[in-house]
């Protein structure tokens, strides 16, 4: 790795005997400077890694500040890596005009439609460049799981389905399960991928499962009072697709919970323990 692409530490904070660090680096995938946060647990060489993908409008900092994950991650000896949600530092046409497209809304796809195709390559960043960077810069095990929230839940499911064997487990909090059939997804995919709806299906969890993609087990947490439940998230479409395809799914419908980080904080411990069990299973 050239000096130009070496990550630089932005900050470090001690938390539950571990270290929460924020780093920046020049990304080859996005051709911009990218930022990520990493929690390194105490006294544990070669920790396994959970990749957390955040949702619309978020940065790498939302999860680390609001999820309440580090007490349990410290106990479990689990590293957590939180990338940003889009490239930054650009001024593409309409990039900053809306919360659900452009800045803060990369949707974890590799864009093919100009001008987004040059920089908006968050899928390659998350699945290829970031793990390579983590392994070259930190003393980690090389075993990964992946999770995320909303747009990030969509990203986690798609990354797992498209990369067999790369992740030991996958989960999602209130994911956008069928973006080709919801307003957020239609807007983003038309902008990033063009008007060919068939091309969109390669970035849609429900479509991937219907096309035969599979994972050993998918775990989803969903609040019943989520304002986006029916129009944007569509967990029933995921459930139906999994049942038809024989895909193992645990869909926990949490009574009375909404879309916020209060919901995530309420169930993050269960989720982290689920991933730690998978990461520690070497059979």
**103-137 per-position pLDDT tens digit:** 999 999 999 999 999 999 999 999 999 999 999 99
pLDDT digits (tens, 9 = 90+) for 87-107: 999 999 999 999 999 999 999
* C-alpha radius of gyration, the chain, whole number: 18
DSSP 51-73: EEE--TT--THHHHHHS--HHHH
**For the domain that residue 46 is a member of, what is the CATH number?**
3.40.50.1820
Q: Is 259 a catalytic residue?
A: yes
Residue in 60, 84, 204, 226 annotated catalytic: 226
Q: Which domain holds residue 194?
A: 3-280
How far apart are the C-alpha atoms of 267 and 256, rounded to whole Å? 13
Within a 13 Å sphere around the CA of 123, how many CA atoms are in the beta-carbon half?
21
Residues whose CB falls within 8 Å of the CB of residue 240, separated by 6 or more in sequence, listed in order: none
Q: Is 226 a catalytic residue?
A: yes
Q: Is 221 left (phi over 0), alpha (psi -120 to 50) or beta?
A: beta
pTM for this one?
Answer: 0.97
Q: Is 150 a catalytic residue?
A: yes
pLDDT digits (tens, 9 = 90+) for 44-90: 679 999 999 999 999 999 999 999 999 999 999 999 999 999 999 99
Number of domains in the chain: 1
The whole-chain average pLDDT of the chain stands at 96
pLDDT for position 1: 46
Residue in 150, 169, 171, 207 annotated catalytic: 150
Residue in 25, 119, 149, 259 annotated catalytic: 259
pLDDT digits (tens, 9 = 90+) for 137-159: 999 999 999 999 999 999 999 99
């Amino acid at each position: 790795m050239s000096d130009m692409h070496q990550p630089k530490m932005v900050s470090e904070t001690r938390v539950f005997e571990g270290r929460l660090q924020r780093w920046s680096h020049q990304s080859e995938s996005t051709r911009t400077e990218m930022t990520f946060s990493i929690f390194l647990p105490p006294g544990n060489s070669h920790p396994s890694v959970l990749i957390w993908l955040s949702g619309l409008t978020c940065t790498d900092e939302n999860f680390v500040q609001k999820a309440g994950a580090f007490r349990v991650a410290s106990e479990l000896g689990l590293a957590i890596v939180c990338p940003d949600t889009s490239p930054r530092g650009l001024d593409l046409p309409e990039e900053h005009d809306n919360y659900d497209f452009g800045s803060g809304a990369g949707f974890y796809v590799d864009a093919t439609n100009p001008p987004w195709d040059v920089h908006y390559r968050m899928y390659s960043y998350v699945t290829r460049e970031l793990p390579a960077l983590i392994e070259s810069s930190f003393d980690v095990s090389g075993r990964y799981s992946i999770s995320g929230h909303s747009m990030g839940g969509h990203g986690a499911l798609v990354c797992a389905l498209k990369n067999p064997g790369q992740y030991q487990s996958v989960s999602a909090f209130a994911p956008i399960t069928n973006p080709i059939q919801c307003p957020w997804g239609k807007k983003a995919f038309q902008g990033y991928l063009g008007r060919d709806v068939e091309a969109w299906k390669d970035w849609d969890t429900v479509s991937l499962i219907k096309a035969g993609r599979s994972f050993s087990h998918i775990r989803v947490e969903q609040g019943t009072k989520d304002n986006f439940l029916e129009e944007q998230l569509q967990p029933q479409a995921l459930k139906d697709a999994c049942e038809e395809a024989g895909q193992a799914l645990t869909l926990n419908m949490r009574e009375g919970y909404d879309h916020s980080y209060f919901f995530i904080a309420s169930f993050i411990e269960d989720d982290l323990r689920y991933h730690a069990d998978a990461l520690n299973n070497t059979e």
